[in-house]
Structure 1
């Protein structure tokens, strides 16, 4: 019973996280009026989420290894409550920016507390366990626009959407308060067994660099599409506004479909690394097609394909594979991997923003290069996996009570 409470609580946090990543953008018009600013001003506040992630991922990962996962899961939940209260009470974008940084910090704390916990709880099914986090995030991203839409139609206060999330967090805190996380002693025993299963130890200067590159490239591949697909469809393929915006819906549908299918397949039918390499290659093919043949039908199929193969959980699988390479210090591993992803979400708009002013078609070429590098790196990881593990299986200790 205790383990069920823990697992349900961890997944519910990612329902909240999915909501939190888009709720400011979904309430942009109301927040613009509340803060007496422009759309760019609200976007400035939203950008603080990335700042918060970059600031603390490494530190929270290191400390979660030292002091356990529970404090960081609870700290992440508390930071989200303060974030929502601060957004509702902030009189201007500058104070709101500071509170928005807390959202990124909360994201980091949840990641470095939750991913290692699930990987340790389910060492033989870690891929499925972590991909399900993406599923709950997708549910949150689907759910909150409906709530905000109902509030808008009913001419009700936008803040009710945020208070709803706070209520979910508080109820989940009650659920998790008495749940038992894996003990530090059991985690150390499992980590030592996992490291002993390696034929040769992983090397940070080689394997670590490969995973940092993959963390950056896997995030950059789908983040670029999410940011520019609508504009690309309108400018390059000559699509109308409604059809161009629908491309992002196809992308989202692909992502959700992938999460469901991948969660079923991974570990039971296909190894996580096999999916990681295969999905990365298929995403590359889809992006090449969108670059070479920018027609409405190709972009529609390509948008769905990139959502499926690049944004549907392959990044989470990359993290679980990295944790197998470096089983001691999974919190720090999570922090390093997702810091690379946060750098991608920060740098991609800078790289592509200037190019979009003069050559929108060239943006897709940039993503072709990124996806090609991601595929090459995934092949390198696969080769190194064979060197480290051969056909060895992951040891499993029963940490679930």
Structure 2
């Protein structure tokens, strides 16, 4: 069997997301130092942290379309360059205004990486596109897991806090050099998506018939919003729910997020194994969304400590373990002439959720924290109905294409 020449390239692409995992937590874990540097308080630092989401939303759709036109590698390097600007810019900033600008740059970096990396991986591994994309989640989680240890080592050595930023920047810079001569697939070499026994997304063998299907685009876009909203809400309110609704102690409640993370990482590897055994990505999408709905209903009806602990793992597994990557892969493989644009649309919808959900839950929290989780039940129910419809549409498209092929033969 011929070895895939893009495996070394993929290694570098994944390493970028290890650094990205660090990047999204660097300001949070160094908050006290940044408060002093910028002469502000925690609220001021939080404003700067919010700039990452703003920057991501503003440019993601445009960068996705441009990626389809100019190729994947330029945008991956543009993302790496923006991240380097963020790492050094935050350290040199003396006010939250300047820091906000560099935080916005980090959001742009994330968008550029996404618009280049996801399509590049799908084009590098057409027979295992879902697996390739889901592994990104593992490297993001890996970066978030490693960073606290790096910062702890810096603290123990009584070193300047900025070394944590420099370590991340150094890894990114070395990776940029590593990727310079690595091959990338030709984004213009558009062929029919390969549906193999190892990776059945349920897409049609003749995807060009779907390219103008606004209904499919609307369904995937809405799913991008709902899938992000489902787990983002839980990640923000899980600890509070455990403490104030289930009656757990503060120390026990904050550990729920660790259990949640373990669940998400477990799902990454389980999903990778399942798609290799010819389990359809569409079927997994429907299954995980259904599990999320059941888990949310259960924890709302029985908010006890044991149930909440189990819920933390299950919801991390089903909602945060790569279901968004599955949805994106199915969408992009349905529209192979516009993988970058599909990535931009799908993740723009997800980014919109990170802005709107906190506004809604802030209002609900004035009533009760329990009402927030019931609201998530409604979101998950809508997500499950949408996943079923997507599955139906994919199956219908595939059946129609197979029928056409039989007629042509």
Of 76, 81, 85, the match for 1:78: 81
- 2:13 and 2:118 mapped to 1: Cα distance? 9
* Contact 1:199-1:387 within 8 A present in 2 as well: no
Identify the residue that residue 104 of structure 1 maps to in structure 2: 107
* Contact 1:195-1:328 within 8 A present in 2 as well: no
- Count of residues in correspondence between the two structures: 392
SS in 1 for 2:210: coil
Identify the residue that residue 316 of structure 1 maps to in structure 2: 325
Identify the residue that residue 35 of structure 2 maps to in structure 1: 32
Identify the residue that residue 11 of structure 1 maps to in structure 2: 14
Q: Which deviates the most, 12-21 or 69-78?
A: 12-21
Of 251, 262, 269, the match for 1:242: 251
Identify the residue that residue 287 of structure 2 maps to in structure 1: 278
Q: 1:129 to 1:71 in 2, by over 3 A?
A: same
Identify the residue that residue 341 of structure 1 maps to in structure 2: 350
Identify the residue that residue 396 of structure 1 maps to in structure 2: none
Of 380, 383, 395, the match for 1:374: 383
SS in 2 for 1:125: helix
SS in 2 for 1:239: coil
Of 378, 385, 397, the match for 2:394: 385
Identify the residue that residue 271 of structure 2 maps to in structure 1: 262
* Contact 1:199-1:389 within 8 A present in 2 as well: no
- 2:106 and 2:350 mapped to 1: Cα distance? 16
Q: Deviations over 1:101-130 (max 9, x none)?
A: 011100000001010011111111101110
Higher RCO by CA contacts (8 Å cutoff, separation 6 or greater): 1
Q: 1:35 to 1:372 in 2, by over 3 A?
A: same
- 2:210 and 2:7 mapped to 1: Cα distance? 34
- 2:98 and 2:9 mapped to 1: Cα distance? 35
Identify the residue that residue 43 of structure 1 maps to in structure 2: 46
Q: Deviations over 1:368-395 (max 9, x none)?
A: 00111010000000000011112979xx
Quote the RMSD (CA, aligned, Å).
1.9
- 1:148 and 1:391 mapped to 2: Cα distance? 55
Q: Does 2:313 align with 1:304?
A: yes
* Contact 1:284-1:372 within 8 A present in 2 as well: yes
Q: Which deviates the most, 116-125 or 99-108?
A: 116-125
Identify the residue that residue 227 of structure 1 maps to in structure 2: 236
Identify the residue that residue 397 of structure 1 maps to in structure 2: none
Q: 1:203 to 1:292 in 2, by over 3 A?
A: farther
Identify the residue that residue 354 of structure 1 maps to in structure 2: 363
Q: Deviations over 1:189-217 (max 9, x none)?
A: 45699876249535532111100110000
C-alpha displacement of 1:17: 1.1
- 1:302 and 1:67 mapped to 2: Cα distance? 44
- 1:195 and 1:254 mapped to 2: Cα distance? 32
* Contact 2:127-2:194 within 8 A present in 1 as well: no
Q: Deviations over 1:47-75 (max 9, x none)?
A: 00110111101110010000000100000
Identify the residue that residue 169 of structure 2 maps to in structure 1: 166
C-alpha displacement of 1:329: 0.8
SS in 2 for 1:181: coil
* Contact 2:208-2:335 within 8 A present in 1 as well: no
Q: Which deviates the most, 163-172 or 195-204?
A: 195-204
Q: Does 2:117 align with 1:114?
A: yes
- 1:357 and 1:303 mapped to 2: Cα distance? 23
- 2:221 and 2:23 mapped to 1: Cα distance? 25
Q: Which deviates the most, 198-207 or 333-342?
A: 198-207
Runs of 4+ in 1 over 2 A off after TM superposition: 1-5, 152-155, 188-205, 390-393
Q: TM-score, normalised by structure 2?
A: 0.92
C-alpha displacement of 1:98: 0.4
